[in-house]
Copies of this chain bind each other. A is one copy, B any other.
Amino acid sequence: MAVYTDISDEELNRFLEQYDLGQLLSFAGIAEGVENSNFLLRTEKNHYILTLYEKRVDQDELPFFIGLMQHLADAGLNCPLPIPTNTGDTLSVCAGRPAAIVSFLNGTSARYPNTQKCHALGVALAQLHQKAKGMTLRRQNSLGPQDWAPLLESIDRDAVDLPQNLREEAAKILPKIVSAWPTDLPSGIIHADLFPNNVLFVGDELTGLIDFYFACSDLLAYDLAICLNSWCFEADGSFNITKSSAMISGYQSVRQLSEAELEALPILSSGAAMRFFLTRFYDWINTPADAFVKPLNPMEYWAKLRFHRNAKSASAYGVGL
């Protein structure tokens, strides 16, 4: 949660001259997003979000992310719509950083979404998968199964405050997941990071999917597995099968999952747990103690991984309940 780059009023006014948004009414940096700087921008015309892309985002990939949002919003998905400059560019420069203005979406996120919200998420996720079909730009998943072993190897020491055999244990399980990974499932563009904090609701109505900066081409059901991990465990670590059942049936109300996809849910969910375990483990080891953004504890995903390793079939996720 941070604003990394300050924008002076002179810089902002110069920047806004490129757009046809009317008189500026208010402007505030918001404490959302750990990769970029985000600002709430209100003008006579509407509410917007201004994003300044900081160093952790690869600038070459911005046209894909912006293009995807534009494509999905044009197709009617509740997601931010990039606003073009007067010369038609959806990517610009502000305060020396690549910058984009997108439409503002109403809604707030829930830390532990209820069953209705899980159902709505399933619906929206399948809509995203369907509506992304026309996208011509592609982006490879930089955190897919082939990247996990190198990521684990790059973690070259134990953390004093985590179990000491964690790297070894992960090194044992990881090849089992990768070797069992399905290759013949339907693929397409996935969000790849659709955690509850990236989904907005007004009441229980889903009003927005945001933060497309991990989107890539991969197995569609893997995206669902990521959501099963991030939406269906309770604060005490227990798995809520009512929620997962609702999410999957929401998904299937828009896009039917094949038998092979359903059968693959345990392995895909194990992989999703491994992927977030690994990036959190890496950050836990490599984040300086005085950093403003505190790393998330990887053990949460280690416990989730154990759940999925024990799941024998799709019924563990409430399919057919």
Contacts and interface: CB of A to CB of B under 8 A. Distances in A.
Interface of A: 1-3, 8-10, 12, 23-32, 40, 42, 104, 106-112, 200, 202-203, 290, 292
Contacts of A107: 25-26
Contacts of A26: 104, 106-108, 200
A185 to B, nearest CB: 34
Closest 4 CB pairs of A and B: A29-B31, A290-B290, A3-B31, A28-B30
A9 B109 contact: yes
A29 B1 CA distance: 9
Q: Among A10, A40, A108, find the residue whose CB has the most chain B CB atoms closer than 10 A.
A: A108
Given A9-B109, A9-B111, A40-B40, A30 B27 contact: no
Contact of A30 (B8, B40, B42, B112): B40
Contacts of A25: 106-108, 202
Contacts of A109: 9
A69 to B, nearest CB: 18
A106 B42 CA distance: 9
A27 B28 CA distance: 13
A305 to B, nearest CB: 25
Nearest to A207: B25
A3 B29 CA distance: 11
Contact of A9 (B1, B24, B108): B108
A27 B207 CA distance: 14
A111 B8 contact: yes
A2 to B, nearest CB: 8
Nearest to A10: B111
Nearest to A107: B26
A208 to B, nearest CB: 10
Nearest to A200: B26
Given A26-B200, A29-B32, 18 more contacts: A1-B3, A2-B31, A8-B111, A9-B110, A9-B111, A12-B108, A23-B202, A23-B203, A24-B108, A25-B202, A26-B104, A26-B107, A28-B30, A28-B31, A28-B32, A29-B30, A30-B30, A292-B292
A24 B290 contact: no
Contacts of A110: 9
Contacts of A24: 108, 202
A42 to B, nearest CB: 8
Contacts of A8: 111
Contacts of A9: 108-111
Contacts of A2: 31
Nearest to A25: B106
A292 to B, nearest CB: 5
A280 B109 CA distance: 39
23 contacts: A1-B3, A1-B29, A9-B108, A9-B109, A9-B110, A9-B111, A10-B111, A12-B108, A24-B108, A24-B202, A25-B107, A25-B108, A25-B202, A26-B106, A26-B108, A27-B108, A28-B30, A28-B31, A28-B32, A29-B31, A29-B32, A40-B40, A42-B106
